[in-house]
Amino acid sequence: MRLEYTERQKKFRAEVREWMTANVPKQALSSFDTQEGFEQHRAWEAKLHEGRWSAVTWPKELGGRSCDLIDWLIFEEEYWRAGAPLRVNQNGVFLLAPTLMEYGTDEQKARFLPRMAAGADIWAQGWSEPGAGSDMAAIRTKAILTSDSQGDHYVINGQKTWSTRAVYADWCFGLFRTDPDSSRHHGLTFILLPLNLPGISIRPIKQLNGLPGFAEIFFDNVRVPVANRLGAEGQGWNVAMATAGFERGLMLRSPARFQKTAQNLVALYQRHREHADRDPSIRDAVLKSWMDAEAYALSTYQTASRLVRGGHIGPEASTNKIFWSELDLLMHETAMRILGARGELMPEAPEAAESAPWLDGFLFAQAGPIYAGSNEIQRNIIAERMLGLPRA
Amino acid sequence: MRLEYTERQKKFRAEVREWMTANVPKQALSSFDTQEGFEQHRAWEAKLHEGRWSAVTWPKELGGRSCDLIDWLIFEEEYWRAGAPLRVNQNGVFLLAPTLMEYGTDEQKARFLPRMAAGADIWAQGWSEPGAGSDMAAIRTKAILTSDSQGDHYVINGQKTWSTRAVYADWCFGLFRTDPDSSRHHGLTFILLPLNLPGISIRPIKQLNGLPGFAEIFFDNVRVPVANRLGAEGQGWNVAMATAGFERGLMLRSPARFQKTAQNLVALYQRHREHADRDPSIRDAVLKSWMDAEAYALSTYQTASRLVRGGHIGPEASTNKIFWSELDLLMHETAMRILGARGELMPEAPEAAESAPWLDGFLFAQAGPIYAGSNEIQRNIIAERMLGLPRA
Amino acid sequence: MDFTFTEDQLSLSDAIHKFLMVEAAPELLREIWETESGRSAEMRAKLADQGLTALSVPEAYGGMGLGDLDWVLIQQELGYYAIPDSLTATAYLAVYLSKALPEDSKLKAHWLPKIADGSARVAVGHPINPFVADAANASLLLLWHADELHALRPEEATLTLNASIDSSRRLYRVQWTPSDKTRVCGAEQGRELWQGVINRAGVAISAQLLGLAQRMLDLGTDYAAQRKQFGKPIGSFQAVKHHLADVAVKIEFARPVVQRAAQSLATGHPRAGLHVSHARLVAGEAARLAARKSIQVHGAMGYTWEADLQMFMKRAWALDATWGDAIFHKARIADFVLAEGAALGPAETFTH
Amino acid sequence: MDFTFTEDQLSLSDAIHKFLMVEAAPELLREIWETESGRSAEMRAKLADQGLTALSVPEAYGGMGLGDLDWVLIQQELGYYAIPDSLTATAYLAVYLSKALPEDSKLKAHWLPKIADGSARVAVGHPINPFVADAANASLLLLWHADELHALRPEEATLTLNASIDSSRRLYRVQWTPSDKTRVCGAEQGRELWQGVINRAGVAISAQLLGLAQRMLDLGTDYAAQRKQFGKPIGSFQAVKHHLADVAVKIEFARPVVQRAAQSLATGHPRAGLHVSHARLVAGEAARLAARKSIQVHGAMGYTWEADLQMFMKRAWALDATWGDAIFHKARIADFVLAEGAALGPAETFTH
């Protein structure tokens, strides 16, 4: 055990810090759930790419820096420390890319990854369907393999929903039922497709904050070339589980994000301490927030160290999801309690400068225990796969 | 709505207060889970009976005072305010007696109730069996109706467990399977029996605190006259549900008990405030304890008022069980946190004077969410019967 | 000792419940939320028709002369239906303030009848709130200044909109100049009056939060009973059942606390402020838990603008922090419980 | 940066785990709990055979010369099996104190070999604890007085037993008279030494609490998998699953905090005290939750003396309040987090 950074790691951190200091926009970008903000964030992805920071864990030849997970944690710490923007291409860079690298052909990697790293293609995900939320194996949208004069292609019919980023994104990945007689986990295939194909229509879904953070995607005889299939026909569930594993586990939520929030919460508390101390539960929640953010960071460093040494993530990844989502709620609820009657102000209100980011985070935190496998599902996984309790 | 006591109620309160002041033992009695303490508590029941305080809600002709529920709440407030002993005959006076009054014959009432009120017979309950805990309908202990020269009687074989007070008690009531071919709620009968019958053996079960608060009762061809049946043959489930309803609902736990604990907790906190305030969660828990004890009292007064006006208790009684058991845990956990390193002392330790009652209460509080229908069962009842959600 | 409502009280609130079920459907709320003022003349007219604007206006001024205890049941209904109207400020708080004025007060004679017939809207401002709700839309502003009560027209003040996530209220920063002309009542009487306003606002909010909690519980229960996953309604899963059961427990034990606080105001109980703060805390907790559990049960659907739940959640979150946030109310509890010789313990619940 | 243990460290703790599984079964614990001293010479001999008494004694004194980081994994095992022996006070805390003394110290030369070979028991007393555990049973008492370190024989003090619910320790009030004869080290060096003891006791307790939490989780899981109600194992009910899953989450996120605290002690990190207090709080929370959920899953059985669970619960409750209760440790967190210019936020986790 060595809980100090190497000289190389320290130099890497210094390099990130220097670049971020010079390049992070001074003015916060608009939300990427607006057209304007989306393009601002796309430009930021391109800027990151210029500095070779858009996908640091990718191999160098694909525009990354071949960072290991410890480097990635350092990068994330500096990224959040600098107050850099949210990553509009998270679905692509963090979720799809590892799957593409594992299951994609060389042609597919060359075709998709460089454009993804550069922010040229922003990706949406297409997992859920109206009848398939927590129960993802209930997918019904069909993609039927067809041959004609233009070659082999899938014809897709059906509907996806809760597709994050889909309102403005360029591409989408998801699972489709290629064997119409199959059921549950069988007969599904992982397919990549551009969102501007004929037959696709997109209906934005407004979130709590009024912005369209996700969308329904309707498919009406949409033709997708067979070359857009990732992995083998009918093997989609296995391919997708790799992605879902990344989403649930280490990769989706870097500890730096929560540590930054905890730090901001301490500062908020300090500014309002005289009032806040009249309710002792506030101070206690502030201390707990810092401790839990720190614990989450330590846990992540420990997991990363294990992975660097060749270990694997098991069902204990489900504990991550529960921990960070409850921590995120705790921190934002506490902030709202400190802000009191100012917490309700919309971002455009003249006196909302201090409170608006907290309200936005508070609303977003509500989704934490729901998306990427609800916390109830995660608790089932822990009980059944980690503790070995019998299924119902 | 009138939230003030009538002159009659005030006079009643004054009468209770005066008697309690004069008669409550200055020295705490030993635990009624010891032979010595059991007899001390029996003597206290007799003393209460002398003052006509042992069963105030019973009709006057049975030794009670025909108190309505509001009077009962007043009585309980004064009882706890005075620091009077726990009621060793709670199973009898509060659980069995209302059922006896509803389902018993005149002979049965005359035979059992006056002795119960006087503390001459102390009652144990016999609901659970090794395979029938939360799932009470799984009862298997058989009571087969038999006729011989000595008349009709039941022959009982099987085993009860978690029978509170059974180690020292005189009588026991419970459910037995009288139709051997029946299953679940059918074919059960409610029977009363003395614990000194031939064929009965009792194995004390030690609780967390080392004292035998409950017992296993083994039945080996135990003969019980048919006159000891309460209600009709095979109707035991309905008869028992009335009792279980009392247990779950209003009667088992008077708010005064929790208000007394909350008051003691505030006093404990005040004595140790300098230390305790270094952890702000303590103070918050103290305030919450007082608020919740008060809320429990208000809720009970509201229910009592409704019942006095002819209302009924429904499935919302399940909310009571959850509320008081969680409150009791909160209060005792908080006290243990305040007591710190002294909390672990056994009652006989020379320096345990302040802490020992809290440790005892803390251990007892652990049972709260478990007995009388676990809190998981209560939540199912609330969801299914109060909210109308579908059964699994 | 009788902790029940009269048949009259229960049947009035029951009638309002049934009325609002028809007249305040979520689709209508959405429409009103989208308007510029956030108010609807039709909705106001219907409330007036039901007598709600006249509820506590003295009979001499065209009202029904009812009191705090009558209001508390009505407020539960206003919460349940998230009614977007300045009814509480106008017909409860402003009436309470006006009633206290001398019989010859112009304010009293002029405004009470207009409140009763539904034609006036009054906004009430006190520094415990940084903003005054619905000030621009009001016919009259009743404002605190150094414990005095002042009355003015919105045109006499500078109003700056500070939009809230709860679109059923429009918040304004109000800048104005107190003068002899605007003063209606001095600090001596005003001090007590403003305490009365804070406490009445507190009970009204608590009751609305109770209603909101119940509505969110009902929405969650309905959704759970219908929505299927893994081949059965999600409401048959124990985790979902227990989420909702926890909400039911909170509501069940908040209700009597809120109703007692109303009665304490009605009877002038010396610890009314304590009772109100207790009510605020437990009702706020119930509403926050109901929001959290209901959105959890709704899954992703609960996170959308389209699901009705969002309106009730936002209303609950916002309301819970006005007229004293939880910190303010917790401090009032602490001041009582931790005072030397505090009347705690059994037998003290209803003492004075 | 590498947050993993070496193969040697892992295989040592694994060997101890397997050893104790056989040698420290619950039936044996019960027997030892019932004895007057609460100690077993056989158990002690077996621990010494495994090298545990010699673990951090320097090689020059017959020990293995291992450190804080090696101890932390062993302590998890001692907790998991609720080992009733004064091993931690003797072989970890007393060794730490002795090692700091000058090479010519009689104490050092006399006692370290005896500790290493398992023949000595040492009790350590500091006013952060009202009582000294196992004082009557010790060969030597190491006691605090005005930041000095004193050494005496139990016979030189008056010991009053204060029995604990945790029968794996016997607590004594110790009355004694400090003198030049008993003083081993002055206040200047002693001050830092005693901080070191508090922190090492803190890590040892945290690790034991982790082990206890894991044991209670395992007991609950086993019970839930076997016990049937309503025709199926109760572990197939979602409510039971989620109770136990919550415990698993707590343990999972307490473990790295505890292990980091050990490493901070090993490397002399300037914020080691903060890390220890953090470890104490999260490990205590995990153990308390494990106790609560495990007893709940056990149902009435968990409330009995007969179920093994009771020993682990009592040990956890008691241990959690020694060497600084949660209030003490929370205060140390607050002192750091709320200080002006505190190093919070990302990139500060491993700074100095």
Give the CATH number for residue C233.
1.20.140.10
* Ranges for all domains in chain B classified under CATH 1.20.140.10: 249-386
Is C102 domain-assigned?
Answer: no
- Give pLDDT tens digits along chain D (352 positions): 999 999 999 999 999 999 999 999 999 999 999 998 899 999 999 999 999 999 999 999 999 999 999 999 999 999 999 999 999 999 999 999 999 999 888 889 999 999 999 999 999 999 999 999 999 999 999 999 999 999 999 999 999 999 999 999 999 999 999 999 999 999 999 999 999 999 999 999 999 999 999 999 999 999 999 999 888 999 999 999 999 999 999 999 999 999 999 999 999 999 999 999 999 999 999 999 999 999 999 999 999 999 999 999 999 999 999 999 999 999 999 999 999 999 999 999 999 8
Quick one: A123-235 is in which CATH superfamily?
Butyryl-CoA Dehydrogenase, subunit A, domain 2 (2.40.110.10)
Among candidates B4, B299, B309 on the partner chain, residue whose Cβ is nearest the Cβ of C4: B309
Looking at every residue in chain A, the average pLDDT score rounds to 94
SS (H, E, C) D250-310: HHHHHHHHHHHHHHHHHHCCCCHHHHHHHHHHHHHHHHHHHHHHHHHHHHHHHHECCCCHH
Residue type at D333?
A: I
Residue D237: list chain C partners with CB under 8 A: 238
Residues of chain B within CATH 2.40.110.10 domain(s) are 123-235
Determine the distance from the C-alpha atom of residue D14 to the mean position of all C-alpha atoms in its chain, rounded to a whole number.
18
Residue A134 confidence (pLDDT) above 80? no
Residue D127's closest chain B neighbor by CA?
B341
Chain B, 71-130: which have a CB under 8 Å from a chain C CB? 74, 76-78, 80-81
Q: Does any CB of chain A come closer than 8 Å to the CB of residue B291? A: no
The residue of D159, D162, D216 whose CB has the most chain B CBs within 10 angstroms, and thus the best one to mutate to test that interface, is D162
The alpha-carbon gap from B136 to the nearest alpha carbon of chain A, in Å, equals 21
Q: Is C222 on the interface with B (CB under 8 A)?
A: no
Residue D239 at interface with chain C, using a CB cutoff of 8 Å: yes
CA–CA gap between residue B252 and residue B324 (Å, rounded): 11
pLDDT tens column, B122-166: 999 998 999 887 788 899 999 999 998 888 999 999 999 999 999
Half-sphere exposure of D73 (CA within 13 A, CB side): 20
Residue D333 touches chain B, beta carbons under 8 Å: no
H helix or E strand, kind and range, residue D48: helix D41-49
Q: For an interface test with A, which of B281, B290, B334, B338 has the most A Cβ atoms less than 10 Å from its Cβ?
A: B281
For residue A391, the chain D residue with the least C-alpha distance is: D236
Question: What residues pair up with A229 in beta bridges, in sequence order?
Answer: A191
If one counts the domains in chain C, the total is 1
Is B6 in the C-facing interface, judged by CB distances under 8 Å?
yes
- pLDDT tens sequence across D118-137: 999 999 999 999 999 999 99
pLDDT in tens, A11-59: 999 999 999 999 999 999 999 999 999 999 999 999 999 999 999 999 9
Predicted local confidence at residue A251, as pLDDT: 55
DSSP character for A165? T
CA A202 distance to own-chain centroid: 21
Q: Are residues D33 and D173 in the same domain?
A: yes
Nearest CA to C322 among A214, A163, A345, B183? A345
D236 vs A390: CA distance, rounded Å: 5
Q: Does B67 contact chain C (CB < 8 Å)?
A: no
Chain B residue with the nearest C-alpha to that of A392: B392
Residues linked to residue A173 through DSSP beta bridges, in sequence order:
A125, A192
Chains touching C by CB (3 or more pairs below 8 Å): A, B, D
Q: Does residue D168 share a domain with residue D28? A: yes
Judged by CB atoms closer than 8 Å, whether chains meet at A376 and C230 is answered as: no
What pLDDT does residue A223 have?
96
Active site includes B247?
yes
Q: How many whole angstroms separate alpha carbon A273 and alpha carbon A284?
A: 12
Which pLDDT score, from 0 to 100, does residue A246 have?
A: 55
C277 lies in some domain? yes
Is D221 within 8 Å of A387 when comparing Cβ atoms? yes
- Interface pTM (ipTM) of the complex? 0.96
Provide the pLDDT for residue A316.
Answer: 82
Tokens of C69: 């205890």
- CA C109 to chain CA centroid, Å, is 26
Is residue D85 situated within a structural domain?
A: yes
Domain encompassing residue D313: 190-337
pLDDT of chain C, 352 residues: tens digit per residue: 999 999 999 999 999 999 999 999 999 999 999 998 899 999 999 999 999 999 999 999 999 999 999 999 999 999 999 999 999 999 999 999 999 999 888 889 999 999 999 999 999 999 999 999 999 999 999 999 999 999 999 999 999 999 999 999 999 999 999 999 999 999 999 999 999 999 999 999 999 999 999 999 999 999 999 999 888 999 999 999 999 999 999 999 999 999 999 999 999 999 999 999 999 999 999 999 999 999 999 999 999 999 999 999 999 999 999 999 999 999 999 999 999 999 999 999 999 8
Chains that touch A (3 or more CB pairs under 8 A): B, C, D
Best CA proximity match to B257, nearest among B87, B33, B30 = B87
CA A311 to chain CA centroid, Å, is 23
- Give the burial string for A164-184 (b: 16+ CB within 10 Å, else e): bbbbbbbbbbbbbbbbeeeee
Distance from CA of A377 to the nearest CA of D (A): 10
Query: pLDDT digit string (tens) for D83-103?
Result: 999 999 999 999 999 999 998
CA distance A355 to C130: 13
Concatenated DSSP letters for A71-139?
HHHHHHHHHHHTTPPP-TTHIIIIIIHHHHHHH--HHHHHHHHHHHHTTSS-EEEE--BTTBSS-GGG-
3-state SS class at C202: helix
Q: Among residues D130, D158, D188, which one ends one of the domains?
A: D188
Residues of A in contact with C317 (CB under 8 A): 336, 343-344
CA distance C70 to C61: 18
The token pair at C29 is: 């709320």
**B246 within 8 A of B191, measured Cβ to Cβ:** no
Q: What are phi and psi for residue C344, nearest 5 degrees? A: -105, 175
Same-domain check for residues D47 and D116:
yes
pLDDT digits (tens, 9 = 90+) for C280-301: 999 999 999 999 999 999 999 9
Q: Which of D238, D240, D244, D297 to mutate to test the interface with C (most CBs of C within 10 A)?
A: D238
What is the least distance, in Å, from the CA of C246 to any CA of chain B? 8
Q: Are C227 and A131 in contact (CB under 8 A)?
A: no
Among partner residues B2, B81, B390, which is closest to C235 by beta-carbon distance? B390
Q: Is the separation of the CB atoms in A207 and A166 below 8 Å?
A: no
The residue in chain C having the minimum alpha-carbon distance to the alpha carbon of residue A353 is: C162
Q: State the Cα–Cα distance between residues B216 and B172, nearest whole angstrom.
A: 12
Region of D346 (left: φ > 0; alpha: ψ -120 to 50; beta: rest) is beta
> Among A378, A380, A390, whose Cβ lies nearest the Cβ of D225?
A390
The distance of Cα C265 from the centroid of its chain, to the nearest Å, equals 15
C1 touches chain D (CB under 8 A): no
Is residue B157 exposed (0-12), middle (13-18) or buried (19+ Cβ within 10 Å)?
Answer: middle
Same-domain status, D217 and D88? no
Q: Which residues of B touch C268 (CB under 8 A)?
A: none
Whether the CB of A30 is below 8 Å from some CB of chain C: the reply is no
Measured in angstroms, the CA of D221 and the nearest CA of chain C are apart by 18
Choose, from B76, B77, B129, B247, the residue flagged as catalytic: B247
Both tokens of D346, joined, read 């990302």
Task: Give domain status of residue D2, yes or no.
Answer: no
Residue D12 corresponds to which amino acid?
L
CA angle D53, D55, D56 (to 5 degrees): 115
Active-site pick, A247, A294, A344, A354? A247
**Distance between CA B120 and CA B93 in Å, rounded?**
12
C56 token code pair: 């506590």
D143 in the same domain as D53? yes
Model confidence band, residue A132 (pLDDT cutoffs 50, 70, 90): confident
Strand (E) positions, chain D? 122-125, 132-133, 140-145, 148-152, 158-162, 171-175, 183-185, 228-229, 232-233
Report the alpha-carbon distance of residue B343 to residue B355 in Å, rounded: 6
Residue with tokens 């003394």: D101
pLDDT per position as a tens digit, C75-92: 999 999 999 999 999 999
Rounded CA separation C162/C142 (Å): 19
Asked whether the predicted pLDDT for residue A369 surpasses 90, the reply is: yes
Q: What are the chain D neighbours of A305 within 8 Å (beta carbons)?
A: 1-4
Could you tell me the CA-to-CA distances from A326 to A293, B236, C157 in Å, in that order?
11, 47, 44
Q: Are A67 and A59 in contact (CB under 8 A)?
A: no
Measured between beta carbons, which residues in chain B are less than 8 angstroms from residue D127?
none
Secondary structure E strands in chain B: 123-126, 142-148, 151-164, 171-177, 188-194, 200-205, 214-225, 229-230
* b/e code D213-237 from CB counts within 10 Å (16+ = b): bbbbbbbbbebbbebebeeebbbbb
- CATH number for the domain that contains residue D42: 1.10.540.10
Assigned domain for C254 exists: yes
Query: Which of C230, C304, C325 is closest, CB to CB, to A340?
Result: C325
CB B288 within 8 A of CB B296: no
Write the residue in D253, D260, D333 that is nearest to A296 by C-beta.
D253
pLDDT of residue B241: 82
Q: Does B337 touch chain A (CB under 8 A)?
A: no
Distances (CA, A) of A248 to A242, D165, D251: 10, 42, 19
Strand-pair category, C148-152 with C140-145? antiparallel
Q: What is the DSSP letter of B372?
A: S
How buried is residue B11: exposed, middle or buried, by Cβ count under 10 Å (0-12/13-18/19+)? exposed
Q: Considering the domain boundaries, does residue D347 fall inside one?
A: no
Give the closest-approach CA distance of B273 to chain A in angstroms: 13
Please say whether the beta carbons of C225 and C236 come within 8 A: no
Pick the residue from chain C with its C-alpha nearest to D242: C239
D75/D100 same-domain check: yes
Q: Which residues on chain B are in Cβ contact (under 8 Å) with C257?
A: 294-295, 298
**What was the pLDDT predicted at B243?**
65
CATH 1.20.140.10, domain A249-386, yes or no = yes
- Give the whole-angstrom CA distance, residue C122 versus residue D195: 64
Report, as ranges of residue numbers, the positions in chain B whose pLDDT lies below 70.
243-252
Indicate the length of chain C as a whole number: 352
DSSP B34-80: SHHHHHHHHHHHHHHHHTT-S-TTS-GGGTS----HHHHHHHHHHHH
D177 dihedral zone (left: phi>0; alpha: psi -120 to 50; beta):
beta
**C chain contacts of residue A139, beta-carbon cutoff 8 Å:** none
Residue A155 exposed, middle or buried by CB count within 10 Å (0-12, 13-18, 19+)? middle
Tokens of B188: 């059960």
The residue in chain C having the minimum alpha-carbon distance to the alpha carbon of residue D238 is C238
What distance in Å separates the CA atoms of residue B170 and residue A95, rounded to the nearest whole number? Answer: 69
